[in-house]
Each structure stands twice: as structure tokens, then as C-alpha cells.
Amino acid sequence: MMNNCEQCVVKNKAICSALDPDELIAINRLSRKVSIKAGQALIWEGDDSLIVANVVEGAFKLTSSLEDGREQIIGLLYPSDFVGRPFGDRNEYTVTALADSKVCVFSRADFDQFVREHPDLEHKLLQRTLTELDRVRRSMLLLGRKTASERVASFLLEMSERLADSSCSVVGGQLRLFALPFGRQQVADILGLTIETVSRQMTQLKKNDVIALPDHRNVQILDADRLQDIADSGVGALH
């Protein structure tokens, strides 16, 4: 079934927001909406680059495999994020759904041609690429230098920004309440920590009224300033 751009819930945040109504009609003809079950791969590392997509609902992990079969999470994707490799021949990573998700899929060849003919979309794609590069650099700092408490605090702050939704309570650009689309084991994998360490840090943040944990997935930020202090330099870190 063809995707209706006018009804798309991420149309104002995805790269398609750079297009005017007539251009949206044109790109709509090239797209299809696909449902992906949790655990199902959308793109495989090393395969030919045949599709690109916008994430509409859910969440995905980007992973790369070592020669011995170990998997490393190298990125996360959320609604309005773009996935795939335009103008590239092969996929450099595997993209797997962390939760039941929906994507708006394009043939890579059709998308490449459309981008060449629409410079505003090409500019938006470049902006997204540079934003993702900045995110990767922050992740390198997080994994290479930050302590466990700093990593968990940084992760929660980033989630509060990236999971922002008009239906949720947002203060200063950050959600006060949001639901993680994956479990603590996956959080641990992302942060390079054990699940026990992640659980301990979350519990300490809760005990000190920095966050609340209404249930296993939902997080409420009670003291964003203190959480930021912990993320930046470990000031006020909990032991």
C-alpha cells in the first residue's frame, strides 16, 4: 500500500519536510510503508544497497559484526530518522528493529534520482548526515572517557531529546516523561556496561530523586539540571 505523506506522523521532522506539496506527491509515488517486527532486520551489513527509508514508528539499532561473530551496536534510529546509504553500493551495517516498527521505504535507485532533481532534499540529507556524524563523535566520547554514571545520565538526556513528541510533557526541549523502546540489556550493550551496572545506576538516580521509574520502560526526569551535571563531569554522581 502506498504511503500517504499528508497523514505521515513524522512529515514535519523527516527529510521530506524540505519538499513542497507537489514534490511530496511525487515522492509519495516512489514510497511504500512497511511494518517490521521486533528482531527483524531491515538492512543487512555487506548486502547491496537497494533501499533507503524513513523511520515512522518504533526504534532500530545499527550493528556491525566482528570476524568472530560478536556484534557491536554503533547507532540507534528513532521516528523521523533516515536509514540507508544513498549513492552507495553496499550497506556498512545491519539495521534491526528493537520494537515493532514502521518505515517508509524507497528504492535506493529511485531515491538517488529524486535527490539529484531536488536540491532542497539533497541539502536536508546533508544536514542529517552531519547531525549523525556529531552524534557518533559524542558517542565515542561517552564510551571512551565517561564513567558509568556519566554514561547513563548522558544516555537518558539524549533519549529525552530524541523521543520528544507533542503528546508528551516537554520542558526546555526535553521530555519529563518518556518510554524507552528497549530493555536494560540493550541499554547496557549500547553503553558498553553490564546490565547490573545500568540497573544499579538507574536505581541510585531514582533513590536520589533525579529520575522516577513508573515501570520497567518509562522514565521521568525530575531534576534535569542535576542529571546534566552528572552527564557532563560526574558532579553529583551517585555511589
| 190, 143 contact by CB (below 8 A) | no
Question: For the segment 153-199, what is each residue's pLDDT rounded down to a tens digit?
Answer: 999 998 888 775 544 555 554 557 888 888 888 888 888 889 999 99
Mean confidence (pLDDT) of the chain = 84
> In this predicted structure, what is the pLDDT of residue 180?
85
Each residue's pLDDT tens digit, 7-28: 788 888 888 888 888 888 888 8
Binned at pLDDT 50, 70 and 90, residue 130 comes out as confident
Rounded to whole angstroms, what are the CA distances from 30 to 27, 197, 221?
A: 5, 46, 41
- Considering the domain delimited by 147-233, tell me its CATH architecture: Orthogonal Bundle (1.10)
What would the pLDDT profile of 66-86 be if each residue is shown by its tens digit?
Answer: 888 778 788 889 888 999 988
Q: What is the pLDDT of residues 136-150, one digit of tens each?
A: 666 666 666 788 999
Angle between helices 195-207 and 184-191 (to 10 degrees): 110
Residues facing residue 33 across a β-bridge: 104
Give the model's pLDDT for residue 166: 42
Q: Please, which pLDDT band fits residue 235 given cuts at 50, 70 and 90?
A: low
What pLDDT is attached to residue 13? 83
Segments making up each domain of the chain, as ranges: 5-140, 147-233
Separation between Cα atoms, residue 149 and residue 47, nearest integer Å: 38
pTM of the model: 0.76
CATH superfamily of 5-140: Jelly Rolls (2.60.120.10)
Q: What distance in Å separates the CA atoms of residue 154 and residue 160, rounded to the nearest whole number?
A: 10
Q: Does residue 1 have a pLDDT over 50?
A: no
Distances (CA, A) of 160 to 27, 99, 134, 165, 174: 31, 18, 17, 10, 5
Cβ atoms < 10 Å from Cβ of 185: 12
Number of H helices, E strands in the chain: 7, 13
**pLDDT for the residue numbered 167:** 44
Dihedral angle, C-alpha 11, 84, 189, 221, nearest 10 °: -20
Buried b (16+ CB within 10 A) or exposed e, 118-146: beebbebbeeeeeeeeeeeeebeebeeeb
Mean pLDDT of all residues in 34-53: 94
Query: Containing H/E element for 162?
Result: helix 148-162
CB count in 10 Å sphere of residue 98: 20
Among 137, 187, 132, which residue's Cα sits nearest to residue 159? 187
Q: What is the spatial distance between Cα 189 and Cα 132, in angstroms, rounded to a whole number?
A: 20
Supply angle C-alpha 107, 134, 189, rounded to 5.
80
Instruction: List CB contacts of 206: < 8 A, sequence separation 6 or more.
Output: 212, 213
